[in-house]
């Protein structure tokens, strides 16, 4: 996540999902996986504001996010999202460091969010891919499978963002499952997904750490899909 994205249409679906999970009974934790944009391409990212026609999905949420997305660049930050009161959550907003500092950063995040029973991870790109080494500059844009595992083994369910790859949908999702289930501690986790297709296809992968958590996840996703977000085609 980068500050310049704050309040865009991606956040509309993201916070709708977090609200649904909170309503289903989860205590939410969020690690933004914050990165700095100066060395990355696509400087126009974050320009997609919430269309007025979709405000009716959640009027208050849309108005709050839209106000943030139209702030001057220096004021458009994840801290604005945290303080806006859109969802009750525990936040971890330290910037993702490079290489040897990452493990200590991750441990601080796990400690800060350990009071939650579901943690949302928001890397720029999603689950680490083969073409990116763990110590490379681009690795800050990804979540590592072992970082997910460290929450699951504590009984904390995990949701993470994943940017859609240019593959057939079944091959794409099978690939994600394969990477996750390569971690022995994740093989017994139930796997769910929800897609928000507007402007840029955004997938959210959900892993239930406990059997009771899967029922809560199902309730949250069903409520989103059967409600205005699903009816207006903002999620599937």
Q: Is there a contact between 209 and 32 (Cβ–Cβ < 8 Å)?
A: no
Phi/psi region, residue 90 (left: phi>0; alpha: psi -120 to 50; beta: rest), is beta
Q: Show the domains of the chain with their CATH numbers.
A: 3-231 (3.40.50)
Measured in whole angstroms, the distance separating CA 204 from the mean position of its chain's CA atoms is 6
Q: Give the separation between CA 121 and CA 162, rounded to whole angstroms.
A: 10
Q: Give the separation between CA 33 and CA 131, rounded to whole angstroms.
A: 20
Residue 20's H or E segment, with its range, is helix 9-23
User: What local confidence, expressed as pLDDT, does residue 38 receive?
Assistant: 55
Q: What is the mean pLDDT of residues 28-50?
A: 73
* Residue range 43-81, pLDDT digits in tens: 555 468 888 999 999 999 999 999 998 888 888 889 999
The strand pair at 157-163 and 118-121 is best described as parallel
Question: Which residues in 95-109 are b (16+ Cβ under 10 Å) and which e?
Answer: ebeeeeebeebbeeb
User: What local confidence, expressed as pLDDT, does residue 164 receive?
Assistant: 84
Q: Is there a contact between 203 and 164 (Cβ–Cβ < 8 Å)?
A: yes
Q: Does 143 score more than 90 pLDDT?
A: yes
Residue 28's H or E segment, with its range, is strand 28-31
Q: Which residue has the tokens 């460290």?
A: 150
First-to-final CA distance of the chain:
22
What sign has the CA pseudo-torsion 220, 203, 191, 213? negative
* Residue range 101-132, pLDDT digits in tens: 999 999 999 999 999 999 999 999 999 888 88
* Residue range 147-190, pLDDT digits in tens: 999 999 999 999 999 988 788 888 989 999 899 999 989 988 99
């Amino acid at each position: 996540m980068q500050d310049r994205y704050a309040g865009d249409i991606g956040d509309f679906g993201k916070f709708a999902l977090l609200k649904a999970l909170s309503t289903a009974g989860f205590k939410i934790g969020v690690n933004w996986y914050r990165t700095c944009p100066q060395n990355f391409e696509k400087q126009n990212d974050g320009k997609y504001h919430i269309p007025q026609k979709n405000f009716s999905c959640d009027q208050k949420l849309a108005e709050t996010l839209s106000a943030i997305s139209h702030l001057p660049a220096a004021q458009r930050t994840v801290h604005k999202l945290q303080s806006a009161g859109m969802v009750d959550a525990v936040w971890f907003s330290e910037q993702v460091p490079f290489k040897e500092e990452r493990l200590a950063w991750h441990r601080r995040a796990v400690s800060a969010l350990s009071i939650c029973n579901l943690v949302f991870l928001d890397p720029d790109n999603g689950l680490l891919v083969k073409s990116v080494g763990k110590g490379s500059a681009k690795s800050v844009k990804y979540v590592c499978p072992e970082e997910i595992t460290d929450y699951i083994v504590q009984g904390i369910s995990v949701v993470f963002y994943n940017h859609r790859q240019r593959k057939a949908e079944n091959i794409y999702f099978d690939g994600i499952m394969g990477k996750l289930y390569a971690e022995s501690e994740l093989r017994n986790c139930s796997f769910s997904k929800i897609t928000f297709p507007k402007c840029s296809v955004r997938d959210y992968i959900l892993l239930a750490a406990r059997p009771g958590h899967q029922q809560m996840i199902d309730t949250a996703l069903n409520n989103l899909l059967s409600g205005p977000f699903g009816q207006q085609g903002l999620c599937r």
